[in-house]
Amino acid sequence: MTILGVDPGTLTTGYGLIEISKGTTKVIKCDAIKNDSADLMPQRLKRIFETLSQVMDEFQPDIVAIETAFYGKNAQSALKLGHARGVIMLAAIVREIPTHEYSPREIKKALVGHGNASKQQVQYMITSILKLKKFPQGFDTTDALAVAICHLQRSLQPTQKYTSWKSFLTEHPEKISQLQQMRKR
């Protein structure tokens, strides 16, 4: 399985491609798309779209995982980030690549164990998990790899979710008898 993780931004969009094969995870490619602040928004979006389209065409990822918008920024920043996310999703949708979204907090929790991790902590964990000899260049690239790793971890978790104890016990009646036996002891 190949996962393309993307950390969207209109000035810098990080991306990281990981491959999982025979229990080993390795980095195939990671980089950042850097736009000039003097460029108009349509040119920035075009560059993000074209670069990620080229990456998707070359490496054929099975999944695109993207960081959701951070709502603590001002409205203008959120709107710009939404534009970048839109062209990234469009590049994936045109190629019929499934897309999954993860919040910054969820990504940090998946890698570091808590949602308030610093960029340095995430960078360290990426280097450790992927057994890299040096830090990937730039936090945008590291964050993109973190999004991909987060998706990998989430995809390995069981998909069955229970809304109540009753629904869990309905699906697992053997647990009732185990509980009754534990009470007898």
- Which residues belong to the active site? 7, 67, 140
Residue 88 identity: I
HSE toward the beta carbon, residue 79, CA cutoff 13 A: 4
Strand, coil or helix: 134? coil
27 is written with which tokens? 């980095």
HSE toward the beta carbon, residue 24, CA cutoff 13 A: 6
Contact 14, 140 (CB under 8 A): yes
